[in-house]
Structure 1
Amino acid sequence: MPAIRLRKRGQLTLPEDIRSKFRLEEGDSFDVKVRGREIVLIPYKRVPLDQAWFWTREWQAKEQEADEDLAAGRYKDYDTVDDLLEDLHRED
């Protein structure tokens, strides 16, 4: 692993082979962690604004609930859309 040098204003340049391996592009973000005497950079891609709703705490809680319902078998299968609509409109 080649050594890299800290530049003015705290900038680092990652070697091309590392950028390629992790598919890093200009503007990508990193979480920075300190582990003992190490500085760990963890790359992540930002979520596009039109998809941010999916990652809200409330939506993720509902996703978890849906996963649990599926795992427990709490769902119905329908042969046709008409069967589904009929069940939705049926008064209990």
Structure 2
Amino acid sequence: MERGHGTSLRLVPVDWHPRQQEYFWSEEWQERMQRSLQHLAEGRVKAYGNVEELIGELENASDNKD
């Protein structure tokens, strides 16, 4: 909001988040976030002791897709 001449006020639109975060506020991304939060709440997560374990599981999953 800006003050105009005399007693008038002018409403000026303002972005409420940085442009580089625009993707995050898209409907698709918000649906993905909701799904992820639901998985967390249901305990559908897995912790790895190190990055090698994670990479090994990802490679096995990729091999099993074919």
Common fold by TM > 0.5: yes
Q: Hey, what's the Cα distance between the residues in 2 that align with 1:28 and 1:80?
A: 47
* Residue 88 (str. 1) matches residue 62 (str. 2): no
1:30-66 deviations in Å (ceiling 9; x for gaps) = xxxxxxxxxxxxxxx6111001111111100000000
More helix by share: 2
| TM-score normalized by the length of structure 1 | 0.53
Show the counterpart of 2:33: 63
| Number of residue pairs aligned between Structure 1 and Structure 2 | 56
Offset at residue 7 of structure 1 (A): 1.7
Aligned-pair distance for 1:28?
A: 7.2
Q: Which has the higher strand share?
A: 1
TM-score for both structures, normalised by structure 2: 0.72
- CA-atom RMSD in angstroms: 2.2
Task: Give yes or no for the alignment of 1:7 onto 2:7.
Answer: yes
Unaligned runs of 5+ residues in structure 2 are 1-5
Give 1:1-92 correspondences, 5 Å limit. 7-8=7-8, 11=9, 29=14, 46-90=16-60, 91-92=63-64
Please list every run of at least 4 consecutive aligned residues from structure 1 whose deviation after the TM superposition is greater than 6 angstroms: none
